[in-house]
Amino acid sequence: MKQAILGKKIGMSQLFADNGTVIPVTVVEAGPCYVSQVKTEEKDGYNATQLAFVDEKQSRVTKPQAGHFKKANISAKKYLKEFKLDTNLELGATVTCSVFNVGDKVDVSGYTRGRGFTGNIVRWNAQRHRMTHGNGPVHRAVGSIGASSSISRVIKNHHMPGHYGNEKVTIQNLEIAKVDKERNLLLVKGAIPGAKGSIVTICSAVKA
């Protein structure tokens, strides 16, 4: 059965197994989320459930958004995302971290930390030029970016300086190490993408 929830990355910590083994975990504040829309095959052309997460001031949402939340009988929310779930949830229903159990395999998606404009050494792990024999001052420059005779242009997707980070990444087949229902926390084994405080999606693993 496919389950999904929106969460906020809190940071990393560790657990100790019964045999004393240290287990690195990422703490995620998962939910509570609220069903803000239910899409059906007859009306929308496909089946999906829209979840809303994190309270937002009523003055910061538009009138169409306010009507959308009022129809679901929930307060204004900041984040909305659709999921194709196997369960039939009613409009306005609450989804908590209890939908997952210890040992479940999940896929976690998030946006990596943005690092701004970086050179090709930081961005692509390229090697610098030699530091001697009159090779300055371009030790960290790109170097040759293509031939001038046969192709006479720079090939697409060539490794060059540019914007690094802030891209969507999914880590598959992570394991739920602990579920804290009272504090709405999920402890996921290993690291997940994103900075502290960023929004992540946790779904049942597609390749489990």
Query: How do residues 122-160 score in pLDDT, each as one tens digit?
Result: 999 999 998 888 887 889 998 888 888 888 889 899 999
Which amino acid, one-letter code, is at 127?
Answer: Q
Element (H, E) at 189: strand 185-189
pTM value? 0.82
User: What integer is the mean pLDDT of 189-199?
Assistant: 93
Tell me the sheet residues that pair with 15.
23
HSE-CB for 95 with a 13 A CA cutoff: 28
Report the candidate in 199, 121, 109, 116 with the shortest Cα–Cα distance to residue 165.
116
pLDDT digits (tens, 9 = 90+) for 10-56: 999 999 988 889 999 999 999 799 998 888 888 888 888 999 998 88
DSSP 8-state secondary structure symbol assigned to residue 90: P
Strand duo 162-163 + 117-118: pairing: antiparallel
In contact, 197 and 138? CB cutoff 8 Å? no
Cis peptide before 32 (omega within 30 of 0): yes
**30 and 5 Cβ atoms separated by less than 8 Å:** yes
* For residue 7, pLDDT beyond 90: yes
User: Tell me, what's the pLDDT at 136?
Assistant: 79
What the chain holds in terms of domains, given with CATH numbers, is 4-115+167-204 (2.40.30.10), 118-164 (no CATH)
